[in-house]
């Protein structure tokens, strides 16, 4: 069974004449949202239990209810005395399916890393009629991760590994849910779907078709797709979504890829670089649909190992203190804000954060220390603190990108303190 998506659009176009190519735009939306659907059987996934490099492993198949239909999913994990705490969730391309993830089984399981793969809505054996190139696929990712958090709570490190459409989906999902993701491996994502589509069609039809005719044809395809799925696909721009991603990202592009060109990936990388110095950009031999090289797999696995190791060595003492006090009862919101820090400022408790939960606890700080001499004095002035107060609890602290950032919750907390002060 082939483990790569073999549907090659270039062959599809080369068999047509110029007039046939233009005529084909009547159903051109199918190139975007209804490519040839991958067909396979459950037997193609292999044995339910198997041995890999002396390690006994198993595959479990399960279903998840998505927003656009039932998602067919599988999980591969090693049966060892030391349960796996890291899981890679594979996201296939537009004409792919979960079969595409099989090359990762023999590479991840010996490293005690589990693998989850599934068919997006409209792909493989899952329900749904159309794909959306990431617009709705990110909702499928959300549904699968919610199921994993319930059935496999031991997973502390969630890695998204996407190919083509799946890679773009990973970036779009992580832009809003980066705290839930440990890292991303993005293989050949498009930076802007409109630009990618225009360049691809231009290369296929040649210079005989004027630009205004080409733009008109693409607008027809755009409107057709929007009528079918209810979303404007040309608004998908992962290079803009990348600006808000805080987890480490590895971008990989085939050197001879003519669909998602390596040059376009640099736009995504530049946007990522401003947020996390752990991001990487890698090129390798091959084309968009060619089998990936061992060099690429080895580089990606080293990237995952380094991120997981760095995360395990990080210590953020504030979180365990918060988690401990979340169950306590408080008589008022201000009493919650005034929650006392640990008695010993030199003791840093272990981190205990559930990455499967998108809710980030509120950090404690004391607004009573904001003693102002007059009305109108700056509310953002850093108050003086007694020596015994732990410095890592300063309310304006912004942690490094590898940790959960508190920038989104420190401001609301300050506003709550100010509102209470004005009320009093």
> Which run of H or E residues covers position 203?
helix 193-205
CA-based nearest residue to 152, from 127, 201, 116, 108: 116
Instruction: Tell me the C-alpha distance between 345 and 354, whole Å.
Output: 24
CA angle 378, 380, 385 (to 5 degrees): 110
Read off the DSSP letter of residue 354: -
Q: What predicted TM-score, i.e. pTM, was given to this entire model? A: 0.70
Instruction: Tell me the C-alpha distance between 382 and 357, whole Å.
Output: 31
Name 116's bridge partners: 75, 89
pLDDT at residue number 26: 65
Mean pLDDT of successive 10-residue segments in the chain (424 residues)? 41 56 67 91 95 93 95 95 94 96 96 97 95 96 96 95 97 92 96 89 70 83 91 94 94 94 92 84 95 96 95 56 37 37 44 41 43 40 44 42 47 71 76
**For the chain, how long is the longest CA-to-CA vector?**
80
Determine contact, residues 188/252, Cβ cutoff 8 Å.
Answer: yes
- Decide the pairing of beta strands 55-66 and 49-52: antiparallel
- Across the beta sheet with 280-284, the strand order is 49-52, 55-66, 69-78, 113-118, 86-91, 157-163, 183-187, 249-254, 280-284
Cα Rg of the chain (Å, integer)? 25
**φ, ψ for residue 86, nearest 5 deg:** -120, 135
pLDDT at residue number 214: 80
pLDDT at residue number 21: 57
What is the torsional sign of CA 286, 290, 295, 297? positive
Instruction: Tell me the C-alpha distance between 170 and 272, whole Å.
Output: 13
CA-based nearest residue to 283, from 250, 258, 254: 254
CA angle 376, 380, 385 (to 5 degrees): 115
176 three-class SS: helix
pLDDT at residue number 250: 97
Secondary structure E strands in 233-279: 249-254
237 three-class SS: coil
What is the torsional sign of CA 59, 125, 289, 259? negative
> Which run of H or E residues covers position 59?
strand 55-66
Determine contact, residues 340/366, Cβ cutoff 8 Å.
Answer: no
pLDDT at residue number 190: 96
CA-based nearest residue to 173, from 203, 209, 134, 144: 134
Determine contact, residues 399/405, Cβ cutoff 8 Å.
Answer: yes
């Amino acid at each position: 069974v082939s483990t790569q998506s073999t549907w090659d659009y270039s062959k599809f176009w080369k068999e047509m004449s110029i007039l046939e190519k233009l005529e084909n735009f009547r159903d051109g939306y199918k190139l975007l949202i209804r490519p040839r659907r991958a067909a396979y059987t459950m037997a193609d996934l292999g044995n339910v239990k198997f041995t890999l490099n002396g390690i006994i492993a198993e595959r479990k198949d399960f279903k998840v209810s998505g927003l656009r239909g039932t998602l067919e999913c599988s999980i591969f994990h090693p049966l060892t005395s030391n349960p796996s705490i890291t899981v890679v969730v594979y996201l296939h391309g537009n004409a792919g399916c979960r079969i595409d993830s099989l090359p990762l089984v023999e590479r991840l399981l010996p490293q005690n890393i589990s693998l989850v793969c599934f068919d997006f809505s409209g792909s493989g054996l899952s329900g749904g009629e159309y794909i959306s190139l990431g617009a709705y696929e990110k909702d499928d990712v959300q549904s699968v991760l919610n199921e994993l958090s319930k059935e496999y709570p031991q997973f502390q490190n969630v890695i998204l590994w996407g190919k083509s459409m799946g890679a773009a989906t990973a970036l779009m999902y992580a832009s809003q849910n980066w705290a839930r993701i440990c890292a991303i491996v993005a293989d050949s994502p498009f930076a802007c779907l409109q630009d990618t589509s225009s360049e691809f069609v231009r290369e296929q039809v040649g210079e005989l078709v004027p630009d205004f005719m080409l733009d008109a044809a693409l607008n027809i395809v755009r409107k057709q797709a929007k009528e079918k799925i209810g979303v404007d696909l040309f608004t998908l721009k992962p290079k803009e979504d990348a600006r808000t991603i805080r987890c480490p990202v590895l971008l990989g592009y085939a050197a001879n890829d003519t669909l998602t060109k390596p040059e376009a990936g640099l736009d995504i990388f530049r946007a990522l670089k401003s947020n996390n110095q752990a991001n990487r950009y890698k090129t390798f031999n091959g084309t968009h649909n060619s089998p990936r090289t061992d060099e690429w797999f080895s580089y990606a696995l080293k990237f995952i190992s380094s991120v997981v190791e760095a995360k395990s060595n990080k210590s953020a003492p504030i979180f365990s203190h918060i988690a401990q006090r979340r169950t306590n009862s408080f008589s008022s919101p201000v009493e919650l804000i005034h929650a006392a820090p640990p008695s010993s400022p030199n003791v840093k408790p272990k981190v205990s954060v559930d990455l499967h939960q998108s809710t980030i606890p509120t950090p404690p700080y004391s607004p009573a220390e904001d003693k102002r001499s007059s009305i109108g004095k700056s509310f953002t002035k850093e108050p003086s603190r007694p020596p015994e107060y732990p410095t890592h609890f300063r309310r304006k602290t912004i942690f490094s990108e590898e940790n959960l950032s508190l920038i989104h919750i420190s401001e609301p907390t300050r506003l709550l303190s100010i509102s209470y002060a004005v009320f009093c």
